Amino acid sequence: MPESKLSQFFLMKELKFLSTGSWRQGRIWTCEKLRTGAEVCPRCATPSTCRYGVAYTNVRDEVVRGQPILLRIRKHRYLCKVCRKPFTEAVPGILPRRRTTQRLRKQMLLDCEQFTNLSQVAHRHYFSKSFVHRLFYEQMELRLRERVGQRWPQVVGIDEHFFSRSKGFTEFTTVFTDIGRRKMFEMAESKNKSSLLEQVGQIEGRQNVTLAVMDLSRGYHALAKELFPNARIVADKFHVLRLLTPALIRVRRQIHGHRQELHLRRKLLMNRGRLEYFQRCEVDRYLNQHPELKELYHFKERLHQLYRTKGYVRAGQALQNLLLEMERSTQPDVVRLRATLKAWSPEILEYFRSRFTNAFTEAMNGIAKLVQRRGCGYRNFKNYRLRTLNACPL
Angle between helices 118-125 and 102-114 (to 10 degrees): 140
Binding map of Zn ion across residues 29-48, x = CB under 5 A, - = no contact: ------------x-xx----
Cβ distance to Zn ion smaller for residue 82 or 343? 82
Cβ distance to Zn ion smaller for residue 83 or 249? 83
Q: Please give the Cα distance from 112 to 106 (Å, whole number).
A: 10
Question: Is position 81 an interface residue for Zn ion (rule: CB under 5 A)?
Answer: no
Q: Please give the Cα distance from 293 to 268 (Å, whole number).
A: 10
> What is the smallest separation between the CB atom of 41 and Zn ion, expressed in angstroms?
3
Q: Please give the Cα distance from 367 to 335 (Å, whole number).
A: 37
> What is the smallest separation between the CB atom of 75 and Zn ion, expressed in angstroms?
17
> What is the smallest separation between the CB atom of 56 and Zn ion, expressed in angstroms?
23
Q: Which letter does DSSP use for residue 100 in this model?
A: B
Nearest to 103 by CA among 89, 92, 115: 92
Question: Is position 82 an interface residue for Zn ion (rule: CB under 5 A)?
Answer: yes
Cβ count near 274 (within 10 Å): 9
Stretch that binds Zn ion, among 81-89, 105-113, 170-178, 353-361 (CB under 5 A): 81-89
Sign of CA dihedral 113, 114, 116, 122: negative
Q: How many CA atoms lie within 13 A of 286 on its CB side?
A: 18
Site size with Zn ion, rule: CB under 5 A: 6
Q: Please give the Cα distance from 197 to 226 (Å, whole number).
A: 9
Considering only residues 83, 197, 203, 275, which one is a binding residue for Zn ion as defined by CB under 5 A? Answer: 83
Give the footprint of Zn ion on residues 51-80 (CB under 5 A). 80
Cβ distance to Zn ion smaller for residue 40 or 323? 40
Counting every residue written for the chain, the total comes to 394
> What is the smallest separation between the CB atom of 178 and Zn ion, expressed in angstroms?
48
Cβ distance to Zn ion smaller for residue 45 or 376? 45
> What is the smallest separation between the CB atom of 46 and Zn ion, expressed in angstroms?
5
At position 354, the amino acid (one-letter code) is S
> What is the smallest separation between the CB atom of 39 and Zn ion, expressed in angstroms?
11
Give the helix/strand (H/E) hosting 85.
Answer: strand 85-88
Question: Is position 175 an interface residue for Zn ion (rule: CB under 5 A)?
Answer: no
Q: Please give the Cα distance from 394 to 386 (Å, whole number).
A: 12
Please check whether residue 136 is in contact with residue 112, taking contact to mean a CB–CB distance below 8 angstroms.
yes
Cβ distance to Zn ion smaller for residue 55 or 82? 82
> What is the smallest separation between the CB atom of 80 and Zn ion, expressed in angstroms?
3
Cβ distance to Zn ion smaller for residue 41 or 247? 41
Cβ distance to Zn ion smaller for residue 44 or 343? 44
Footprint on this chain of Zn ion (rule: CB under 5 A): 41, 43-44, 80, 82-83
